Structure 1
Amino acid sequence: MPNDVVSIEIDDRVAIVRFDRGDKANALSADAMRQLTDAARSFHACPDVSAVILTGQARKFTLGADLKDPARTEQRAQKLSGRRLSLRAGPDMCEAFEKIDALTIAAIEGWCVGGGAALAVACDLRVMAKSATVYVPEVARGMNMSWGAIPRMTALVGPARAKRLAALCEKVDAATALAWGLADAVCEDGRALERAMEFARAAAALPPTALKMVKRDVNVAALALSQATGHRDLEAFALMERSDDFAEGVSAFLEGRKPRFSGD
Protein backbone atom coordinates (compact mmCIF):
# COMPACT_ATOMS: atom_id res chain seq x y z
CA MET A 1 0.00 0.00 0.00
CA PRO A 2 1.84 3.12 -1.17
CA ASN A 3 1.22 5.90 1.36
CA ASP A 4 3.16 7.94 3.86
CA VAL A 5 1.78 6.70 7.19
CA VAL A 6 0.83 3.02 6.94
CA SER A 7 2.87 0.23 5.40
CA ILE A 8 2.09 -3.46 4.96
CA GLU A 9 4.44 -6.39 4.56
CA ILE A 10 3.30 -9.99 4.11
CA ASP A 11 5.38 -13.11 4.50
CA ASP A 12 4.25 -16.72 4.89
CA ARG A 13 0.63 -16.02 5.95
CA VAL A 14 1.68 -13.27 8.37
CA ALA A 15 1.08 -9.59 7.66
CA ILE A 16 2.59 -6.67 9.56
CA VAL A 17 0.79 -3.32 9.44
CA ARG A 18 3.05 -0.49 10.58
CA PHE A 19 1.64 2.89 11.55
CA ASP A 20 4.23 5.67 11.84
CA ARG A 21 3.62 9.37 11.24
CA GLY A 22 7.25 10.18 11.96
CA ASP A 23 6.53 12.57 14.83
CA LYS A 24 6.63 12.37 18.63
CA ALA A 25 2.93 11.69 19.18
CA ASN A 26 2.24 9.27 16.32
CA ALA A 27 -1.30 10.57 16.71
CA LEU A 28 -4.35 9.36 14.84
CA SER A 29 -5.16 12.11 12.35
CA ALA A 30 -8.16 11.82 10.04
CA ASP A 31 -5.85 10.86 7.19
CA ALA A 32 -4.02 8.27 9.29
CA MET A 33 -7.32 6.70 10.31
CA ARG A 34 -8.41 6.46 6.68
CA GLN A 35 -5.15 4.75 5.78
CA LEU A 36 -5.44 2.32 8.68
CA THR A 37 -9.04 1.55 7.74
CA ASP A 38 -8.03 0.87 4.14
CA ALA A 39 -5.21 -1.37 5.36
CA ALA A 40 -7.56 -3.41 7.55
CA ARG A 41 -10.16 -3.76 4.82
CA SER A 42 -7.52 -5.05 2.44
CA PHE A 43 -7.48 -8.24 4.55
CA HIS A 44 -11.24 -8.79 4.61
CA ALA A 45 -11.07 -11.01 1.52
CA CYS A 46 -7.55 -12.34 1.89
CA PRO A 47 -7.57 -16.13 2.47
CA ASP A 48 -3.77 -16.38 2.26
CA VAL A 49 -3.23 -14.38 5.48
CA SER A 50 -3.72 -16.11 8.84
CA ALA A 51 -2.42 -13.40 11.18
CA VAL A 52 -2.17 -9.61 11.05
CA ILE A 53 0.10 -7.70 13.44
CA LEU A 54 -0.58 -4.01 14.04
CA THR A 55 2.29 -1.97 15.43
CA GLY A 56 3.15 1.70 15.86
CA GLN A 57 6.48 3.38 16.35
CA ALA A 58 9.45 1.64 17.92
CA ARG A 59 9.04 3.61 21.17
CA LYS A 60 5.31 4.26 21.28
CA PHE A 61 2.12 2.86 19.84
CA THR A 62 0.19 6.12 19.61
CA LEU A 63 -0.84 9.03 21.82
CA GLY A 64 -4.37 8.77 20.45
CA ALA A 65 -6.54 11.08 18.37
CA ASP A 66 -4.78 14.11 16.94
CA LEU A 67 -6.44 17.07 18.70
CA LYS A 68 -4.40 19.47 16.56
CA ASP A 69 -5.52 17.95 13.27
CA PRO A 70 -7.00 20.70 11.04
CA ALA A 71 -9.66 18.18 10.00
CA ARG A 72 -10.98 18.19 13.60
CA THR A 73 -11.41 21.96 13.51
CA GLU A 74 -13.29 21.69 10.23
CA GLN A 75 -15.40 18.86 11.65
CA ARG A 76 -16.48 20.86 14.71
CA ALA A 77 -17.67 23.65 12.40
CA GLN A 78 -19.96 21.30 10.47
CA LYS A 79 -23.67 20.88 11.01
CA LEU A 80 -24.80 17.76 12.84
CA SER A 81 -25.46 15.79 9.63
CA GLY A 82 -21.89 16.39 8.43
CA ARG A 83 -20.29 15.87 11.83
CA ARG A 84 -21.96 12.47 12.23
CA LEU A 85 -20.30 11.37 9.00
CA SER A 86 -16.90 12.78 9.98
CA LEU A 87 -17.07 11.19 13.43
CA ARG A 88 -17.41 7.74 11.88
CA ALA A 89 -13.71 7.65 10.97
CA GLY A 90 -12.63 6.22 14.34
CA PRO A 91 -15.44 3.68 14.75
CA ASP A 92 -15.02 2.57 11.12
CA MET A 93 -11.29 2.04 11.65
CA CYS A 94 -11.80 -0.08 14.78
CA GLU A 95 -14.61 -2.05 13.18
CA ALA A 96 -12.43 -2.71 10.13
CA PHE A 97 -9.76 -4.31 12.33
CA GLU A 98 -12.32 -6.27 14.30
CA LYS A 99 -13.78 -7.68 11.08
CA ILE A 100 -10.48 -9.02 9.73
CA ASP A 101 -10.89 -12.80 9.33
CA ALA A 102 -7.30 -13.48 10.35
CA LEU A 103 -6.07 -13.40 13.94
CA THR A 104 -5.09 -9.81 14.80
CA ILE A 105 -2.37 -8.89 17.29
CA ALA A 106 -1.49 -5.39 18.53
CA ALA A 107 2.22 -5.03 19.36
CA ILE A 108 2.43 -2.16 21.84
CA GLU A 109 5.56 -0.28 22.84
CA GLY A 110 5.41 2.78 25.09
CA TRP A 111 2.18 4.76 25.33
CA CYS A 112 -1.14 3.47 24.00
CA VAL A 113 -3.54 6.34 24.61
CA GLY A 114 -7.22 7.03 23.95
CA GLY A 115 -8.07 6.10 20.39
CA GLY A 116 -4.97 3.91 20.36
CA ALA A 117 -6.48 1.87 23.18
CA ALA A 118 -9.76 1.66 21.24
CA LEU A 119 -7.83 0.35 18.26
CA ALA A 120 -5.85 -2.14 20.38
CA VAL A 121 -8.97 -3.68 21.95
CA ALA A 122 -10.47 -4.10 18.48
CA CYS A 123 -7.66 -6.61 17.84
CA ASP A 124 -7.79 -10.21 19.07
CA LEU A 125 -4.60 -10.17 21.15
CA ARG A 126 -2.38 -7.52 22.67
CA VAL A 127 1.34 -7.81 23.39
CA MET A 128 2.80 -5.07 25.60
CA ALA A 129 6.39 -4.18 26.25
CA LYS A 130 7.31 -4.09 29.94
CA SER A 131 7.26 -0.28 30.15
CA ALA A 132 4.16 0.17 27.95
CA THR A 133 1.10 1.92 29.38
CA VAL A 134 -2.55 2.00 28.36
CA TYR A 135 -4.27 5.30 29.19
CA VAL A 136 -7.82 6.32 28.29
CA PRO A 137 -8.06 10.05 29.18
CA GLU A 138 -11.24 10.96 27.30
CA VAL A 139 -13.34 11.72 30.38
CA ALA A 140 -10.52 13.89 31.73
CA ARG A 141 -10.68 15.80 28.44
CA GLY A 142 -14.42 16.44 28.82
CA MET A 143 -15.59 13.77 26.38
CA ASN A 144 -16.89 10.22 26.42
CA MET A 145 -14.92 7.17 25.29
CA SER A 146 -16.31 6.22 21.90
CA TRP A 147 -15.30 4.23 18.79
CA GLY A 148 -17.16 1.18 20.14
CA ALA A 149 -14.42 0.67 22.71
CA ILE A 150 -16.48 0.33 25.90
CA PRO A 151 -18.16 -3.01 25.01
CA ARG A 152 -14.82 -4.42 23.83
CA MET A 153 -12.99 -3.29 26.98
CA THR A 154 -15.76 -4.64 29.19
CA ALA A 155 -15.65 -8.02 27.44
CA LEU A 156 -11.91 -8.19 28.14
CA VAL A 157 -11.59 -6.90 31.70
CA GLY A 158 -15.11 -6.85 33.19
CA PRO A 159 -17.28 -3.88 34.16
CA ALA A 160 -15.47 -2.61 37.26
CA ARG A 161 -12.04 -2.56 35.62
CA ALA A 162 -13.50 -1.05 32.46
CA LYS A 163 -14.81 1.79 34.63
CA ARG A 164 -11.40 2.25 36.23
CA LEU A 165 -9.79 2.32 32.80
CA ALA A 166 -12.29 4.48 30.86
CA ALA A 167 -14.26 6.42 33.50
CA LEU A 168 -11.60 7.05 36.17
CA CYS A 169 -8.84 7.34 33.55
CA GLU A 170 -6.38 5.14 35.45
CA LYS A 171 -3.04 4.58 33.75
CA VAL A 172 -2.63 0.81 33.36
CA ASP A 173 0.91 -0.55 33.15
CA ALA A 174 1.81 -3.75 31.34
CA ALA A 175 1.89 -5.96 34.42
CA THR A 176 -1.56 -4.75 35.50
CA ALA A 177 -2.89 -5.12 31.95
CA LEU A 178 -1.70 -8.73 31.92
CA ALA A 179 -3.35 -9.44 35.28
CA TRP A 180 -6.60 -7.84 34.10
CA GLY A 181 -6.69 -9.69 30.77
CA LEU A 182 -6.20 -6.50 28.79
CA ALA A 183 -2.80 -7.80 27.62
CA ASP A 184 -2.08 -11.37 26.52
CA ALA A 185 1.70 -11.23 26.88
CA VAL A 186 4.33 -8.89 28.32
CA CYS A 187 7.88 -8.79 27.00
CA GLU A 188 11.07 -6.80 27.29
CA ASP A 189 11.05 -3.31 25.82
CA GLY A 190 11.73 -3.27 22.11
CA ARG A 191 10.50 -6.85 21.64
CA ALA A 192 6.72 -6.43 21.34
CA LEU A 193 6.77 -7.06 17.60
CA GLU A 194 8.98 -10.13 18.08
CA ARG A 195 6.61 -11.55 20.71
CA ALA A 196 3.61 -10.78 18.52
CA MET A 197 5.31 -12.70 15.73
CA GLU A 198 5.33 -15.79 17.95
CA PHE A 199 1.53 -15.64 18.17
CA ALA A 200 1.33 -14.93 14.45
CA ARG A 201 3.53 -17.86 13.46
CA ALA A 202 1.49 -20.18 15.70
CA ALA A 203 -1.62 -19.01 13.85
CA ALA A 204 0.06 -19.40 10.46
CA ALA A 205 0.93 -23.04 11.25
CA LEU A 206 -2.73 -23.94 11.79
CA PRO A 207 -5.45 -24.69 9.21
CA PRO A 208 -6.43 -21.13 8.18
CA THR A 209 -10.15 -21.66 7.63
CA ALA A 210 -10.72 -23.48 10.91
CA LEU A 211 -8.74 -20.79 12.77
CA LYS A 212 -10.84 -18.02 11.26
CA MET A 213 -14.11 -19.83 11.94
CA VAL A 214 -13.25 -20.23 15.62
CA LYS A 215 -12.15 -16.59 15.88
CA ARG A 216 -15.52 -15.55 14.48
CA ASP A 217 -17.38 -17.83 16.88
CA VAL A 218 -15.55 -16.36 19.88
CA ASN A 219 -16.18 -12.77 18.74
CA VAL A 220 -19.89 -13.40 18.29
CA ALA A 221 -20.12 -15.00 21.74
CA ALA A 222 -18.12 -12.26 23.47
CA LEU A 223 -19.50 -9.24 21.61
CA ALA A 224 -23.08 -10.27 20.87
CA LEU A 225 -24.42 -7.15 22.61
CA SER A 226 -21.68 -4.77 21.49
CA GLN A 227 -23.79 -3.05 18.85
CA ALA A 228 -26.71 -2.70 21.25
CA THR A 229 -24.50 -1.16 23.94
CA GLY A 230 -22.07 0.77 21.76
CA HIS A 231 -24.24 2.23 19.00
CA ARG A 232 -24.88 5.53 20.78
CA ASP A 233 -21.31 6.49 21.67
CA LEU A 234 -20.91 8.43 18.41
CA GLU A 235 -24.09 10.40 19.13
CA ALA A 236 -22.91 11.01 22.69
CA PHE A 237 -19.58 12.28 21.40
CA ALA A 238 -21.34 14.61 18.96
CA LEU A 239 -23.33 15.98 21.91
CA MET A 240 -20.33 16.26 24.25
CA GLU A 241 -18.39 18.05 21.52
CA ARG A 242 -20.79 20.99 21.94
CA SER A 243 -20.37 21.17 25.73
CA ASP A 244 -18.39 23.71 27.72
CA ASP A 245 -16.53 20.88 29.46
CA PHE A 246 -15.35 19.48 26.12
CA ALA A 247 -13.96 22.87 25.10
CA GLU A 248 -12.34 23.31 28.51
CA GLY A 249 -10.86 19.81 28.55
CA VAL A 250 -9.27 20.16 25.12
CA SER A 251 -8.03 23.71 25.80
CA ALA A 252 -6.52 22.72 29.14
CA PHE A 253 -4.74 19.77 27.55
CA LEU A 254 -3.31 21.84 24.71
CA GLU A 255 -2.28 24.62 27.12
CA GLY A 256 -0.75 22.19 29.63
CA ARG A 257 -2.89 23.28 32.60
CA LYS A 258 -5.42 21.70 34.96
CA PRO A 259 -8.98 21.87 33.57
CA ARG A 260 -11.83 23.65 35.38
CA PHE A 261 -14.99 21.68 34.62
CA SER A 262 -18.47 23.12 35.21
CA GLY A 263 -20.74 20.22 34.20
CA ASP A 264 -22.10 22.23 31.26
Structure 2
Amino acid sequence: MSEATVLLNKQDGVGVITLNRPKVYNAINQQLSRELVEVLQQVAQDDDIRSVLITGAGKAFCSGQDLGDRSAMQKKGDHFALGDSVRERYNPLIETLSGLDKPVIAAVNGVAAGAGCSLALACDIRFITPSTRFVEAFVRIGLAVDSGSSYFLPRLVGLGKALELAMSGRDVEAEEALAIGLAERMVEEGKLFDEAFAFARQLAEGPTVAIGLTKRAIIRGMESSLSEALEFEAEVQELAGRTHDFLEGVQAFAEKRKPQFKGK
Protein backbone atom coordinates (compact mmCIF):
# COMPACT_ATOMS: atom_id res chain seq x y z
CA MET A 1 0.00 0.00 0.00
CA SER A 2 1.47 3.35 -1.03
CA GLU A 3 2.20 6.02 1.56
CA ALA A 4 -0.41 8.75 1.95
CA THR A 5 0.49 11.84 -0.02
CA VAL A 6 -1.86 14.05 2.02
CA LEU A 7 -2.00 14.01 5.82
CA LEU A 8 -4.78 15.37 8.03
CA ASN A 9 -4.29 16.17 11.69
CA LYS A 10 -6.96 17.72 13.92
CA GLN A 11 -5.90 19.92 16.82
CA ASP A 12 -7.74 22.65 18.75
CA GLY A 13 -10.44 22.94 16.10
CA VAL A 14 -7.90 23.28 13.28
CA GLY A 15 -7.62 20.76 10.48
CA VAL A 16 -3.95 20.71 9.46
CA ILE A 17 -3.50 19.40 5.92
CA THR A 18 0.05 18.53 4.92
CA LEU A 19 1.10 17.76 1.35
CA ASN A 20 3.39 14.79 1.86
CA ARG A 21 5.75 14.18 -1.07
CA PRO A 22 8.79 16.04 0.27
CA LYS A 23 11.33 14.24 -1.94
CA VAL A 24 9.77 15.88 -5.03
CA TYR A 25 8.87 19.15 -3.28
CA ASN A 26 5.26 18.00 -2.92
CA ALA A 27 4.69 17.88 -6.67
CA ILE A 28 1.15 16.93 -7.61
CA ASN A 29 0.63 13.48 -9.09
CA GLN A 30 -2.63 11.62 -9.57
CA GLN A 31 -2.57 10.17 -6.08
CA LEU A 32 -1.96 13.50 -4.38
CA SER A 33 -4.68 15.34 -6.30
CA ARG A 34 -7.19 12.56 -5.55
CA GLU A 35 -6.27 12.35 -1.87
CA LEU A 36 -6.34 16.11 -1.41
CA VAL A 37 -9.90 16.32 -2.77
CA GLU A 38 -10.92 13.48 -0.45
CA VAL A 39 -9.35 15.17 2.57
CA LEU A 40 -10.97 18.52 1.74
CA GLN A 41 -14.35 16.82 1.45
CA GLN A 42 -13.76 15.17 4.82
CA VAL A 43 -12.85 18.53 6.33
CA ALA A 44 -16.01 20.11 4.93
CA GLN A 45 -18.17 17.53 6.70
CA ASP A 46 -16.34 17.53 10.04
CA ASP A 47 -17.99 19.95 12.47
CA ASP A 48 -15.05 19.59 14.86
CA ILE A 49 -12.82 21.26 12.26
CA ARG A 50 -13.59 24.97 12.32
CA SER A 51 -10.59 26.30 10.39
CA VAL A 52 -8.05 24.80 8.00
CA LEU A 53 -4.28 25.12 7.66
CA ILE A 54 -2.52 23.83 4.54
CA THR A 55 1.25 23.42 4.31
CA GLY A 56 3.90 21.25 2.68
CA ALA A 57 6.21 18.66 4.20
CA GLY A 58 9.93 19.36 3.89
CA LYS A 59 11.44 22.30 2.07
CA ALA A 60 8.58 23.33 -0.24
CA PHE A 61 4.88 24.09 -0.22
CA CYS A 62 4.18 22.60 -3.65
CA SER A 63 6.21 22.62 -6.86
CA GLY A 64 3.17 22.08 -9.08
CA GLN A 65 2.41 19.27 -11.48
CA ASP A 66 4.76 16.29 -11.21
CA LEU A 67 6.34 16.38 -14.66
CA GLY A 68 8.03 13.07 -13.92
CA ASP A 69 4.56 11.56 -13.54
CA ARG A 70 3.57 12.94 -16.95
CA SER A 71 6.82 11.79 -18.53
CA ALA A 72 6.29 8.24 -17.24
CA MET A 73 2.80 8.20 -18.73
CA GLN A 74 4.15 9.33 -22.10
CA LYS A 75 6.85 6.64 -22.09
CA LYS A 76 4.20 4.00 -21.42
CA GLY A 77 2.27 5.29 -24.40
CA ASP A 78 -0.69 6.43 -22.33
CA HIS A 79 -2.70 9.07 -24.14
CA PHE A 80 -3.95 12.05 -22.21
CA ALA A 81 -5.38 15.44 -23.11
CA LEU A 82 -4.22 18.28 -20.92
CA GLY A 83 -7.65 19.90 -21.01
CA ASP A 84 -9.23 16.72 -19.69
CA SER A 85 -6.54 16.48 -17.01
CA VAL A 86 -7.29 20.01 -15.85
CA ARG A 87 -11.04 19.35 -15.80
CA GLU A 88 -10.81 16.02 -14.02
CA ARG A 89 -7.98 16.64 -11.53
CA TYR A 90 -7.38 20.31 -10.89
CA ASN A 91 -10.77 21.94 -11.34
CA PRO A 92 -12.51 19.75 -8.72
CA LEU A 93 -9.60 20.33 -6.35
CA ILE A 94 -9.71 24.11 -6.60
CA GLU A 95 -13.51 24.26 -6.51
CA THR A 96 -13.60 22.06 -3.40
CA LEU A 97 -10.94 24.15 -1.67
CA SER A 98 -12.39 27.54 -2.52
CA GLY A 99 -15.90 26.33 -1.71
CA LEU A 100 -15.10 25.60 1.94
CA ASP A 101 -17.16 27.78 4.26
CA LYS A 102 -14.36 27.46 6.82
CA PRO A 103 -11.37 29.84 6.79
CA VAL A 104 -8.36 28.37 5.01
CA ILE A 105 -4.82 29.49 5.84
CA ALA A 106 -1.81 28.55 3.72
CA ALA A 107 1.57 28.27 5.44
CA VAL A 108 3.66 28.64 2.30
CA ASN A 109 7.07 27.16 3.01
CA GLY A 110 9.68 27.42 0.29
CA VAL A 111 8.42 27.44 -3.27
CA ALA A 112 4.84 27.49 -4.52
CA ALA A 113 5.08 27.02 -8.28
CA GLY A 114 2.67 26.35 -11.12
CA ALA A 115 -0.39 24.52 -9.82
CA GLY A 116 1.20 24.77 -6.37
CA CYS A 117 1.10 28.55 -6.68
CA SER A 118 -2.54 28.32 -7.78
CA LEU A 119 -3.28 26.14 -4.76
CA ALA A 120 -1.81 28.74 -2.41
CA LEU A 121 -3.76 31.54 -4.10
CA ALA A 122 -7.02 29.61 -3.69
CA CYS A 123 -6.58 29.71 0.09
CA ASP A 124 -8.01 32.67 2.00
CA ILE A 125 -4.84 33.96 3.69
CA ARG A 126 -1.18 33.19 3.05
CA PHE A 127 1.59 33.20 5.66
CA ILE A 128 5.14 33.22 4.28
CA THR A 129 8.78 33.47 5.37
CA PRO A 130 11.68 35.35 3.74
CA SER A 131 12.56 32.21 1.77
CA THR A 132 9.10 31.77 0.23
CA ARG A 133 8.82 32.11 -3.56
CA PHE A 134 5.74 32.21 -5.76
CA VAL A 135 6.17 31.22 -9.41
CA GLU A 136 3.48 31.20 -12.09
CA ALA A 137 5.69 28.70 -13.87
CA PHE A 138 3.31 27.46 -16.56
CA VAL A 139 4.82 29.53 -19.36
CA ARG A 140 8.27 28.07 -18.63
CA ILE A 141 7.14 24.81 -20.21
CA GLY A 142 4.94 26.36 -22.87
CA LEU A 143 1.61 26.18 -21.05
CA ALA A 144 -1.08 28.66 -20.06
CA VAL A 145 -2.14 29.19 -16.46
CA ASP A 146 -4.59 26.77 -14.86
CA SER A 147 -5.83 25.55 -11.47
CA GLY A 148 -7.56 28.87 -10.83
CA SER A 149 -4.66 31.26 -11.35
CA SER A 150 -6.58 33.18 -14.02
CA TYR A 151 -9.26 33.80 -11.40
CA PHE A 152 -7.34 34.39 -8.19
CA LEU A 153 -4.16 36.10 -9.41
CA PRO A 154 -5.73 39.28 -10.89
CA ARG A 155 -8.05 39.57 -7.91
CA LEU A 156 -5.06 39.59 -5.58
CA VAL A 157 -2.56 41.72 -7.49
CA GLY A 158 -4.53 43.49 -10.23
CA LEU A 159 -4.77 42.85 -13.96
CA GLY A 160 -1.50 44.35 -15.15
CA LYS A 161 0.65 42.71 -12.50
CA ALA A 162 -1.12 39.38 -13.01
CA LEU A 163 -0.33 39.51 -16.73
CA GLU A 164 3.30 40.41 -16.05
CA LEU A 165 3.79 37.55 -13.61
CA ALA A 166 1.99 34.97 -15.73
CA MET A 167 3.60 35.99 -19.03
CA SER A 168 7.13 36.10 -17.61
CA GLY A 169 6.89 33.11 -15.28
CA ARG A 170 9.48 34.80 -13.06
CA ASP A 171 10.11 34.11 -9.40
CA VAL A 172 8.35 36.42 -6.95
CA GLU A 173 10.42 36.67 -3.79
CA ALA A 174 8.85 37.07 -0.37
CA GLU A 175 9.19 40.84 0.06
CA GLU A 176 7.58 41.52 -3.30
CA ALA A 177 4.87 38.93 -2.67
CA LEU A 178 3.95 40.70 0.54
CA ALA A 179 4.02 44.12 -1.13
CA ILE A 180 1.80 43.23 -4.10
CA GLY A 181 -0.77 41.16 -2.20
CA LEU A 182 0.23 37.58 -2.94
CA ALA A 183 0.73 37.10 0.81
CA GLU A 184 -0.75 38.68 3.91
CA ARG A 185 1.82 37.98 6.64
CA MET A 186 5.55 37.27 6.69
CA VAL A 187 7.12 35.64 9.75
CA GLU A 188 10.62 34.57 10.74
CA GLU A 189 12.15 31.39 9.38
CA GLY A 190 11.38 28.50 11.68
CA LYS A 191 8.20 30.12 13.00
CA LEU A 192 5.96 29.70 9.96
CA PHE A 193 3.89 26.77 11.13
CA ASP A 194 3.51 28.00 14.70
CA GLU A 195 2.43 31.49 13.64
CA ALA A 196 0.03 30.23 10.98
CA PHE A 197 -1.41 27.63 13.33
CA ALA A 198 -1.92 30.22 16.07
CA PHE A 199 -3.90 32.37 13.64
CA ALA A 200 -5.93 29.38 12.40
CA ARG A 201 -6.69 28.42 16.00
CA GLN A 202 -7.76 32.00 16.74
CA LEU A 203 -10.25 31.81 13.87
CA ALA A 204 -11.41 28.35 14.98
CA GLU A 205 -12.29 29.82 18.37
CA GLY A 206 -14.40 32.51 16.72
CA PRO A 207 -17.94 32.57 15.31
CA THR A 208 -17.02 30.38 12.35
CA VAL A 209 -20.49 30.39 10.81
CA ALA A 210 -20.29 34.17 10.59
CA ILE A 211 -16.72 33.93 9.31
CA GLY A 212 -17.82 31.54 6.57
CA LEU A 213 -20.71 33.80 5.62
CA THR A 214 -18.35 36.78 5.58
CA LYS A 215 -16.03 34.89 3.24
CA ARG A 216 -18.92 34.06 0.94
CA ALA A 217 -20.20 37.65 0.93
CA ILE A 218 -16.83 39.21 0.13
CA ILE A 219 -16.18 36.81 -2.74
CA ARG A 220 -19.70 37.38 -4.09
CA GLY A 221 -19.26 41.13 -3.68
CA MET A 222 -16.29 41.16 -6.06
CA GLU A 223 -18.55 39.96 -8.87
CA SER A 224 -21.76 41.82 -8.02
CA SER A 225 -23.29 45.21 -8.48
CA LEU A 226 -23.66 47.29 -5.33
CA SER A 227 -27.36 46.51 -5.06
CA GLU A 228 -26.70 42.79 -5.49
CA ALA A 229 -23.97 42.90 -2.85
CA LEU A 230 -26.23 44.75 -0.41
CA GLU A 231 -29.00 42.22 -0.89
CA PHE A 232 -26.63 39.29 -0.38
CA GLU A 233 -25.35 40.93 2.79
CA ALA A 234 -28.93 41.05 4.07
CA GLU A 235 -29.38 37.36 3.25
CA VAL A 236 -26.23 36.19 5.03
CA GLN A 237 -26.91 38.49 7.97
CA GLU A 238 -30.28 36.81 8.38
CA LEU A 239 -28.51 33.46 8.58
CA ALA A 240 -25.88 34.77 11.00
CA GLY A 241 -28.56 36.24 13.22
CA ARG A 242 -30.08 32.80 13.73
CA THR A 243 -26.91 31.27 15.16
CA HIS A 244 -26.04 30.43 18.74
CA ASP A 245 -22.89 32.50 18.33
CA PHE A 246 -24.85 35.69 17.65
CA LEU A 247 -26.87 35.24 20.83
CA GLU A 248 -23.71 34.40 22.76
CA GLY A 249 -21.92 37.43 21.33
CA VAL A 250 -24.68 39.81 22.35
CA GLN A 251 -24.99 38.27 25.81
CA ALA A 252 -21.23 38.35 26.36
CA PHE A 253 -21.13 42.01 25.35
CA ALA A 254 -23.89 42.82 27.83
CA GLU A 255 -22.12 40.89 30.56
CA LYS A 256 -18.73 42.39 29.72
CA ARG A 257 -17.03 39.01 29.25
CA LYS A 258 -15.28 37.16 26.47
CA PRO A 259 -17.74 35.24 24.28
CA GLN A 260 -17.53 31.47 24.07
CA PHE A 261 -18.34 30.76 20.45
CA LYS A 262 -19.23 27.26 19.28
CA GLY A 263 -19.38 27.68 15.52
CA LYS A 264 -23.13 27.01 15.58
| TM-score > 0.5 by shorter chain | yes
Within 2, Cα distance between the matches of 1:78 and 1:108? 33
Please show how residues 1-264 of structure 1 align to structure 2 within 5 Å.
4-70=4-70, 73=74, 77-78=78-79, 84-88=83-87, 89-222=89-222
Structure with the greater alpha carbon radius of gyration? 2
Within 2, Cα distance between the matches of 1:4 and 1:181? 33
Point out the structure with the larger helix share: 2
Within 2, Cα distance between the matches of 1:109 and 1:185? 13
Within 1, Cα distance between the matches of 2:125 and 2:3? 26
Secondary structure, counterpart of 2:97 in structure 1: helix
1:76 is displaced (CA, Å) by: 8.6
1:213 is displaced (CA, Å) by: 0.9
1:109 is displaced (CA, Å) by: 1.1
Within 1, Cα distance between the matches of 2:222 and 2:67? 32
1:57 is displaced (CA, Å) by: 1.9
Within 1, Cα distance between the matches of 2:105 and 2:57? 15
The alignment of Structure 1 onto Structure 2 pairs a total of residues equal to 222
1:215 is displaced (CA, Å) by: 1.1
Within 2, Cα distance between the matches of 1:84 and 1:122? 20
Of 40-49 and 52-61, more deviation after overlay is shown by: 40-49
One-letter amino acid of the structure 1 residue matched with residue 61 of structure 2: F
Secondary structure, counterpart of 2:203 in structure 1: helix
One-letter amino acid of the structure 1 residue matched with residue 214 of structure 2: V
1:208 is displaced (CA, Å) by: 1.7
Secondary structure, counterpart of 1:177 in structure 2: helix
1:170 is displaced (CA, Å) by: 2.1
Asked if structure 1 preserves the Cα contact closer than 8 Å seen for 2:13 and 2:49, the reply is yes
Gapped runs of 5+ residues in structure 1? Answer: 225-264
**2:240 maps to which residue?**
none
- Gap change, CA 1:162 and 1:212, over 3 Å in 2: same
Deviations 1:63-97 (A, max 9, x none): 110011057538995376xx644332012111111
Asked if structure 2 preserves the Cα contact closer than 8 Å seen for 1:109 and 1:190, the reply is no
Deviations 1:174-223 (A, max 9, x none): 11111111101011123221121122122112112111111111122236
One-letter amino acid of the structure 1 residue matched with residue 26 of structure 2: N
1:24 is displaced (CA, Å) by: 3.6
Deviations 1:98-118 (A, max 9, x none): 111110011011111111001
Gapped runs of 5+ residues in structure 2? Answer: 225-264
- Gap change, CA 1:101 and 1:74, over 3 Å in 2: farther
Asked if structure 2 preserves the Cα contact closer than 8 Å seen for 1:33 and 1:90, the reply is yes
- Gap change, CA 1:97 and 1:75, over 3 Å in 2: farther
Asked if structure 2 preserves the Cα contact closer than 8 Å seen for 1:36 and 1:93, the reply is yes
- Gap change, CA 1:62 and 1:76, over 3 Å in 2: farther
Of 169-178 and 191-200, more deviation after overlay is shown by: 191-200
One-letter amino acid of the structure 2 residue matched with residue 220 of structure 1: R
Quote the sequence identity (%).
29
Within 2, Cα distance between the matches of 1:161 and 1:221? 22
One-letter amino acid of the structure 2 residue matched with residue 86 of structure 1: S
Q: Which has the higher contact order (CA 8 A, sep 6+)?
A: 1
Secondary structure, counterpart of 1:42 in structure 2: helix
1:10 is displaced (CA, Å) by: 0.9
Q: Please report the TM-score for the alignment, with normalisation by the length of structure 2.
A: 0.77
Deviations 1:128-169 (A, max 9, x none): 111110011111211101112111111111111111221111
One-letter amino acid of the structure 2 residue matched with residue 156 of structure 1: L
One-letter amino acid of the structure 2 residue matched with residue 78 of structure 1: H
- Gap change, CA 1:33 and 1:74, over 3 Å in 2: farther
One-letter amino acid of the structure 1 residue matched with residue 222 of structure 2: A
Asked if structure 1 preserves the Cα contact closer than 8 Å seen for 2:134 and 2:173, the reply is yes
